[in-house]
Amino acid sequence: PSEEYENLRRRIYSNTKEIWYYISHEIGKLIADEVKVDALQAILNQVADRKRSLLSDQQKLPELDGYKEWRETEAANVSELVQRRLKHLQNPVDCREARKVICNLNKGCGFGCQLHHIVYCLIFAYATERTLILNSKGWRYNSKGWDYVFHPISDSCTTAYDDKVMPWPVSYDAKVVSLPFIDSISQKPKFLPLAIPKDLAHRIVRFNGDPASWWIGQMLKYILKPRTNMQKAINETIANMNFKSPIVGVHIRRTDKVGTEAAFHHIHEYMTHVKDYYDELELTHPVDKRRVYLASDDANVLEDARKKYPEYEFIGDASIAKTAATHRRYTPLSLAGLLVDLHMLSSCDYIVCTFSSQVGRVAYEIMQTNRVDASNSFFSLDDIYYFGGQNAHDRVVGVSAHELSFFGSPVGDLIGVAGNHWNGFGRGTNKRTNLNGLIPWYKTADHLVLYPFPEYKQVPL
Ligand code: GDP
C-alpha cells in the first residue's frame, strides 16, 4: 500500500472518532444540564451505534485490502533489523576501543520512568554510535543491579575500563560520555523522541500508525529480557490467570499520583470505554464473556470493580496491587508483580488507561512491538501519547479552517500541541504566530519528525 493510502485510511478512522467526541461531549453537556434528557440520550445512543459501525467497517480495510500479510512480514522485518543493529552496537568487536555512553540507573522514580531513562540512553547510543554501558549497582528495585533480574544489555561490553568519562554536553569527540537525566539535559539533541530514523521512517509508516511509539517500543524490546528465574516466576503467576481473548486491559493509577501528577478517575470512566470496545466488537464477533484485565497500585480497585460490574469477568491479582502501593513499591517482589501486569496489559486486545502514567505508556509501547499496529488499540483518559522530556510535538494544519484563522494558521503551519480534550478540540500554540487557542483536532495531522540517524550499513538488511 502507498504511504498516501495508509495516511488517508488512518485519517478517516481518526476523524470518525473526532465527530463522535464532539457530538457525545456536546449532547452529554445538555444531558448533564437536564435538558430533554431522554430524547437526547436516545439520539446519543443512535449516534454511538453508527459510529461503532463506521469504525468497525474501517478496521476491516487493512484486513481485506490484500496487504495484510505484506504488513505483517514488513513489520517483523523492520523490527528484526532494528534489533540486529542494537545487538551490533552493543557488542563491538573491540570493547576497549569502542566509543561509549554511560547511563546511571539511579533515577529516583518508578520502574516505568526508569525504563524510559534507559530508552533515552539507548536512543542516544544508537544515534551517536556509542555502546551503552548501564551502571546499576544499588538499583532501587534490586540492589544487586539490573543484570540480576534482566539479561545484560550487552553480552561482551559492560565497562568503560578506566577511560576518562566526560559528562554531556561534551565540547570535543570524547571517547566516553555520561548522560544526565533527560529532564535536565542541556543542548538537547534533535534525535531524542519523538523523532524516528529517517532511513526506516518510510517503511514504518506503511504498517504502523504511530511510528514514534513503535520506535520506543523497539528499544524496550531490546532492553526488557527477564532472566530465567524471573521469567519462571512471571509465567507461574500468569498460568493461574484465566487470560483469554477477547480481553481489555485497564490500568488504574492511584496512590501517590493522584492530586500531584494526575487527576482521580472513577472506575466508571474506564468502564465506559471498555463497554464501547465490546459493543463495537459484538457487531462482528460473538463475545462469550466480557473479560477485563485490571492492573492497579490501589489494592481496593479489583474488588470494587467486581462489585459494580458483575456482568464483566475481572482478571487480576489483588496481592500484586498491594505490593505496588507506595510504601512497598521498590522491592524485587513488587517488580515481579509489575512485570506480570505489563506483560498482561500489553497482551490485551485493547487498553484503557491514563497516559499521564509511565506504566500505561510502557504497556502501550510494548503492545506496539507485539502486533503490526497497536495505534488504535488504546484509550487514554487524560494525556495524548508522549515521552517524558521529549522534543516539541507538533501537529500540522491540513485543512484551512476559520476556527484556526484567529491564530493565523494557514495550511502547513505547525501547531505545538498540549493535549486533546477528547471533545473534538485540543489546545495548541501556532509556532509561527505564537498564538494559543483551541484547535479542531480533525483539521490537523501529526507531524512526524525524521532524523538522519546512522544507517548501520555494516548490519545486513
Ligand atoms: P508513573 O508514576 O505512573 O508515571 O509510573 P512509574 O513507573 O514511574 O512509577 C509508578 C510505580 O508504581 C511503578 O513503577 C510500580 O512500581 C507502581 N505501579 C503503578 N501502577 C501499577 C500497576 O498497575 N501494577 C503494578 N504492579 N505496579 C504499579
- Read out DSSP for 88-126? HHHS-S-TTTS-EEEEE---SS-HHHHHHHHHHHHHHHH
What's the Rg (C-alpha) of the chain? 23
Place of cell 539535559: 185
Kindly state the average pLDDT of the residues 409-437: 90
Q: 415: which strand partners?
A: 395, 430
Mutate which of 255, 294, 359, 381 for ligand 1 pocket (most atoms within 8 A of beta carbon): 359
| pLDDT-derived band at 403, boundaries 50, 70, 90 | low
Q: Whose CA is nearest to atom 7 of ligand 1?
A: 112
ipTM greater than cut 0.95: yes
Whether 407 has a pLDDT exceeding 60, the answer reads no
pTM exceeds 0.90 for this model: yes
pLDDT digits (tens, 9 = 90+) for 10-54: 989 998 999 999 999 999 999 999 989 999 999 999 999 999 999
341 C-alpha to ligand 1 centroid (Å): 10
CA–CA dist 241, 220 (Å, integer):
25
| pLDDT-derived band at 172, boundaries 50, 70, 90 | confident
For residue 342, give the ligand 1 atom closest to its CA: 24
Q: How far is CA 218 from the centre of its chain?
A: 11
Q: Are 409 and 401 in contact (CB under 8 A)?
A: yes
Mutate which of 149, 292, 293, 297 for ligand 1 pocket (most atoms within 8 A of beta carbon): 297
For residue 257, give the ligand 1 atom closest to its CA: 2
Which residues line ligand 1 at a C-beta cut-off of 6 Å?
109-113, 251, 253, 257, 295-297, 320, 324, 329, 334, 337-338, 341, 357-359
> What angle do helix axes 211-223 and 68-90 make, rounded to 10 degrees?
50
What is the average pLDDT score of the chain? 94
End-to-end CA distance of the chain: 21
Q: How far is CA 95 from the centre of its chain?
A: 33
For residue 115, give the ligand 1 atom closest to its CA: 7
